[in-house]
A and B are shown apart, each in its own frame.
Chain A
Amino acid sequence: MKRLLLVTVGVLFFSIWALAEEPRLIHEEDPSALISDIQVIVKTGAVEEPLNKTGITNIFSELMLRGTKKYDRQKFQSNLEKLGATLGVSVYHDRIVFSGRVIKENTFEFMKLLEEALLYPKFLETEFNSLKVEIINEIAHVKNSNNRLGGLAIRQELFKGTPLEKPVVGTLSTVRTIQLNDVVRSYNNALHRANLLFAIASPFKDSQWKVILKDIWKKLPDGAQRARRVFEPKVPTEPTLIVIHKPKTSTGVLTFAQRGITAQDQERYTLGVGNFSFGGEPLVSRLFRTIRGELGWTYAINSGYGSMGGLSYQPGLYTIVSTPSVEFTAKTLFKTLSSWQDYLRKGLKKDEIVLAQESLVNSYPFEFESSEKRLGHKVYSELYGVPTLSQEEYKKIIDNIGNKEIRKSLKDKQTEKGWLITLVADKDMVEKLLAEEQKGIPTEQQLKISKVINPSDLVE
């Protein structure tokens, strides 16, 4: 066994253990912790699903927690919850994360249940059918959420024909299509040694974890990680507006999207500084100060590169989202576009850059304030091959970013006009407001609604 890394910070330790025949474990030891946080990360996700069956990964992951060979769902869950534990799962396009939390004294009992779920799920037909109904109900319920509708429309347009077109839970039609044998097959393809990573923050020693995890490891089948699949968004060349028709709203949800960046992009820090002062940081960003602070048109406005679940191997999206009062939707739209144009052409002012630098560097310790957060960084580093920077390394990078670098990165990575814009609001109202705002502009140069979508179509 080879200990790859051991770092000591005060009384806190973390280590990463790995050998081909042993489980990969990232452990944050915190002797003062009252609870253990346990994650099992499966390095595959919804990106592997057939296009007409989006949602399989989500279903098999959820079903793993709904009955095992030894325990039916009720027994499994009640045993788990009696321990003072929770165990849930989050599915992403590139990974599945089982997250458990347990009061420390019951940690090892919890691990027995986790092992059951990972290795011996039962995939009962009754549970499968009941879960499908639950998921279908949840998908239909999204029509109640104006914020989520805008995001769905953007996915459908920019990632059409790819596995990123639909959310990981799927849509009504894809979930209806999924059969139990699809689910079992996907589970068998996903759960093997090459795909698994254990990440744990706990008050226990590495040696205690090694024994338990080795035992689980032995029982897992071998396998190979599949080649990575990356999908580029198909961005328009001119601003393109889609309205999701929702009558009688008193606010509109306005979302701008264009290509984002990957976790490995060299420009991530430069664009991070730029975005901080342009729209990323609530209260102090340029967009917030003008569109909310000066003009009072919206309550919330922000921008960022993390709208598809954080930076990853996918370029994802850069988005700007606001929720203006409905009468200010068109004004907010054009003001956002002109602010973007100004940012893209001129970058930031000196004081805006300094503000971003100071803030980012001074708040960096919060990234490591708890064992859970420290663990998160290490997992991220492991998954995407990017280093976890020390405070000094981070400061050095951020302090060396100037407007020249920001403008260059913007030029390389972003476009001035390649925006897909979605607006959740009443289409008639939007048409009227667009016309009012564009008085005097030749018709052919005006921004028009390119498509109107019914919320029901987005979830179907």
Chain B
Amino acid sequence: MQFKKFICLGLVLVGTLHLEAASYEKLGEKKLFNGETVQEYKFPNGLKVLMVARSQAPVLTYQTWFDVGSLNEKLDKKLNKTGLAHLFEHMMFRGTPQYPDGKFDEITSRLGSDKQNATTYYYRTNYYESVPAYQLEKIMELEADRMANLHIDAELLEKEKGAVVGELRRALDNPNRLAWDELMRLMYAESPYRYTVLGTEEEIKGFTQEEADYFYKTFYAPNNCTLIVVGDTKEEILLPLVEKFYGKMKTQEIPKLEFKNEPAQTQEKRWEGKHPQATSEVMLIGYRVPSVTDPDAIPLSLLSSHLSQGMEARLRKSLVDKGIAVGASAGVSSRPDLFEFSVALSEKHTAEEALKVIDREIALLHQSQISKPAFERALNQELLNLYGSISDNNSLANLFGEYLMLSGNHMRGLEILEGYKKLNPSDLQKAAKKYFRKENRSVVIVRPVKKGKVS
């Protein structure tokens, strides 16, 4: 049930005369499986806050999610590049006038921060820390400060480019990475998913202070941001602090992403290449599927569990147990929307053998429904994963953050789980028939230069 409630923080802000900015809207309250609730609030400048209050330990996770990622930079007419969203994420640790370079890390470390880091993906960027609960005010001050007052120093930007190039090169040394990049290029002719999040070395080295400034001022706005706090806090502590540190930030106009429609796929696509560091083959298969908001996302998600979770998973039994592969998995991902099969071949076997096995398994999925015990197995494995996520502050915040950025609905992950309970084996068969078709897939194979040996 959604309900709205306005709460005046006038008492807290007596003397500031910003009564309008001192109120927030309670958008809703949802129950979790364990009886806890997630509260959702919105401030007048557009900033959203999600909170789960729990007091099992005197700690909390503080996460800041921005609805911006590498897609935005490529689609932005002024930028039209890749790699800046990620480089910029690094620059968020490089100082403000109040807390110069190094101070953010130093202070958060002093606070006792745990699991502190940031990540950038196609559609979002997040920053996160876990701190003792009594450090909430300080961590919020620091996060709000760098969101509002970041100083992008040209010299520091050049230094950080070195670290980012190092990160890129480390990724490029990994054959799996090449496989993923090529899969994206193969699957997407028009959409910016075909460009990598990390960008190219040339682009990274070429970014200017002006471009970083533009990115910051355009996308790091309260109305493009959600704070997620899970742990030992409560509404009356958290929200006045949010008001204090974020309340005066101004709403900005965020450019809308305008995707070109990806042409419909009518035949199987293939790419093959070699990687000097590979000693065995890697294969990725991507089937186009709808987004996480589509009802079909639910059976597809359970299908991925059936195929790859646990020792009894179909792919493990048919590929790893037979010695063809050292690892095989399947999963649905959103933005980009695909159902991915991933196989790391053992040295003496080829991707073609694995593809035959996968085709045979898919044919079986088309022909007959999976058994009730297999269905139950997949369902309970998903339940176990979700219970694990709910118990941990950081994992729960991540679950909300990812689904919020993907679908605009932080509860979508839990809704999918509820949706599983309404499924039966025939729904999985229908989904397999609908999406696991050769003409709907792209296949990437990365081979070693010389099998079993480094080139």
Q: Enumerate chain A interface residues (CB-CB to B < 8 A).
A: 10, 12, 30, 32-35, 65, 73-74, 77-78, 81-86, 101-103, 106, 130, 133-134, 137-138, 140-141, 143-144, 146, 245-251, 281, 283-284, 289, 292-300, 323-326, 355, 358-359, 361-366, 368-370, 454-456
Q: In the complex, A332 Cα to B128 Cα: how many Å?
A: 29
Residues of A within 8 A of B55 (CB): 10
State whether B170 touches A323 (Cβ < 8 A): yes
Residues of B within 8 A of A323 (CB): 166, 170
Chain B nearest Cβ from A148, distance in angstroms: 12
Q: Known: A84-B384, A140-B452. Is A299-B166 also a contact (CB below 8 A)?
A: yes
Return 7 A-B CB contacts under 8 Å, by A number.
A84-B383, A137-B346, A146-B173, A250-B170, A284-B102, A295-B159, A456-B453
Q: B34 in the interface, Cβ–Cβ < 8 Å?
A: yes
Q: B279 in the interface, Cβ–Cβ < 8 Å?
A: yes
**Which A residue sits closest to B375, measured CB to CB?**
A82
Q: In the complex, A289 Cα to B279 Cα: how many Å?
A: 35
State whether A359 touches B112 (Cβ < 8 A): yes
Q: In the complex, A52 Cα to B277 Cα: how many Å?
A: 30
Chain B nearest Cβ from A128, distance in angstroms: 13
Residues of B within 8 A of A293 (CB): 101-102, 159, 163
Q: In the complex, A246 Cα to B55 Cα: how many Å?
A: 51
State whether B166 touches A296 (Cβ < 8 A): yes
Residues of A within 8 A of B312 (CB): 74, 77-78, 81
Chain A nearest Cβ from B158, distance in angstroms: 8
Chain A nearest Cβ from B248, distance in angstroms: 29
State whether A81 touches B346 (Cβ < 8 A): no
**Which A residue sits closest to B32, measured CB to CB?**
A34
State whether A298 touches B163 (Cβ < 8 A): yes
State whether A296 touches B93 (Cβ < 8 A): no
Given contacts A146-B173, A365-B132, A369-B56, 19 further A-B contacts (CB under 8 A): A32-B34, A34-B387, A65-B311, A77-B312, A82-B380, A84-B381, A133-B323, A144-B278, A249-B173, A251-B170, A292-B163, A293-B101, A296-B161, A298-B166, A359-B110, A363-B113, A364-B112, A366-B114, A370-B57
State whether A250 touches B57 (Cβ < 8 A): no
Q: B182 in the interface, Cβ–Cβ < 8 Å?
A: no
**Out of A245, A248, A299, which one reaches B277, CB within 8 Å?**
A248
Q: In the complex, A299 Cα to B168 Cα: how many Å?
A: 9
Q: Known: A141-B280, A249-B277, A298-B163. Is A362-B111 also a contact (CB below 8 A)?
A: yes
Residues of A within 8 A of B135 (CB): 362
Chain A nearest Cβ from B86, distance in angstroms: 12
State whether B347 touches A137 (Cβ < 8 A): yes
Q: In the complex, A232 Cα to B344 Cα: how many Å?
A: 37
Residues of A within 8 A of B384 (CB): 35, 84-86, 101-103
Stretch at the interface among B142-150, B388-396, B434-442: B388-396
Q: In the complex, A146 Cα to B177 Cα: how many Å?
A: 14
Chain B: residues with Cβ within 8 Å of the partner, total of 72
A-B residue pairs, 6 tightest by C-beta: A296-B162, A362-B112, A84-B380, A299-B166, A137-B346, A363-B112
Residues of A within 8 A of B390 (CB): 34
State whether A362 touches B102 (Cβ < 8 A): no
Q: Enumerate chain B interface residues (CB-CB to A < 8 A).
A: 33-34, 55-59, 93, 101-102, 105-106, 109-114, 116, 130, 132, 135, 158-167, 169-170, 172-173, 175, 276-280, 309-312, 320-321, 323, 325-326, 344, 346-347, 373-374, 376-377, 380-381, 383-384, 387-388, 390-393, 452-455
Chain A nearest Cβ from B47, distance in angstroms: 26
State whether B173 touches A34 (Cβ < 8 A): no
**Which A residue sits closest to B93, measured CB to CB?**
A283
Residues of B within 8 A of A296 (CB): 158-163, 165-166
Q: Known: A77-B311, A81-B377, A366-B130. Is A284-B169 also a contact (CB below 8 A)?
A: no
**Out of A134, A140, A143, A363, which one reaches B321, CB within 8 Å?**
A134
Chain A nearest Cβ from B421, distance in angstroms: 13
Q: In the complex, A295 Cα to B156 Cα: how many Å?
A: 10
Q: In the complex, A292 Cα to B164 Cα: how many Å?
A: 10
Residues of B within 8 A of A73 (CB): 311
State whether A247 touches B346 (Cβ < 8 A): no
Q: Known: A138-B326, A247-B454. Is A325-B169 also a contact (CB below 8 A)?
A: yes
**Which A residue sits closest to B33, measured CB to CB?**
A34
Residues of B within 8 A of A78 (CB): 312, 373-374, 377
Interface core residue of B135, B166, B321, B393 (most chain A CB under 10 Å): B166
Residues of B within 8 A of A362 (CB): 110-112, 132, 135
State whether B347 touches A284 (Cβ < 8 A): no
Residues of B within 8 A of A146 (CB): 173, 277
Q: In the complex, A197 Cα to B452 Cα: how many Å?
A: 41
Chain A nearest Cβ from B117, distance in angstroms: 8
Residues of A within 8 A of B373 (CB): 78, 82
State whether A246 touches B132 (Cβ < 8 A): no
Q: In the complex, A134 Cα to B102 Cα: how many Å?
A: 46
